[in-house]
Amino acid sequence: MIKIYNLVTFFYNLIFTIFENIIFRKKINENEFTEKGYLKFYNLKNIKIDFKESENIIVNKYYKKIILLNNELNELIYSIFIENKLYEKISSKTGFNYSIDFFTAYETSSILEEDQNKGWYANHPHRDKPYSKNTIKLIIPMQSIRNEHGPMRIIDKIKSKNFNPTKKYNFENVTCETGQAFLFNPNICYHYASNPNKGEKRRQMMFQLNPSKNWCINQKIFEYQNKREPKFPFFSYLFNSKKHLGLSSL
């Protein structure tokens, strides 16, 4: 079964990467993102990170989801992508417009030593296989995330290309302050969630973005908060309604 899954993800990745490059990609200059597969944005303003009316869902003993209200997520998307013009900045670095298809906010806590060999919250090095090479993810911290909070760790696209799980790599800690954001390519760059120090937690938000003709928002993004992140985006979101990012309401 694993071999079949790997074969399916390989052909999905190959076919839809080519399709997106032909249909959606615009020519851009080489930059940090195209060279490394990730970059950080600074000085984002007025991003709400305290959601008092949110609901917490326990996924496992080390991981819980933070479910935002519809209006909270609506305002958050407007603030990040429109007020801070992050949609323009992202397109200038990648050459694509995107559909904002999936959102999750979550909190991770320290994993006990006897549990660290298990996958509680993507805490082992991996690439996100069932996606194209053009799918990107945007991380927004809900607190200052420093080394003690268990930041995501990542290696660039060159090191990832010849990744060998038996070798040691110098993974970069993705530390972030509020007002910053981290953009990366999860299908190309190996990454994982590191373990917070005892008594520490990591709270952050993530958007999954997939190439599109125009910047738009998936109308099921609110209800997807209660579900696992969809794989094979082209098929998962094929029949979902989308609205242009510039509309005042979702």
pLDDT tens per residue across span 48-88? 888 877 899 999 999 999 999 999 999 999 999 999 999 99
Identify the helix (H) or strand (E) that includes residue 6.
helix 2-23
Q: What ranges do the domains of the chain cover?
A: 2-244
Confidence class of residue 247 from pLDDT cuts 50, 70 and 90? low
Confidence class of residue 3 from pLDDT cuts 50, 70 and 90? confident
Q: Which residue has the tokens 């990107």?
A: 136
Strands (E), 148-190: 152-154, 172-173, 181-184
pLDDT tens per residue across span 140-155? 999 999 999 999 999 9
* Residue 188: partners with Cβ closer than 8 Å, 6 or more residues away: 37, 127, 133, 157, 160
Beta bridge partners, 125, equal none
Write down the CATH number for the domain with range 2-244. Answer: 2.60.120
Q: Is the pTM of this model over 0.85?
A: yes
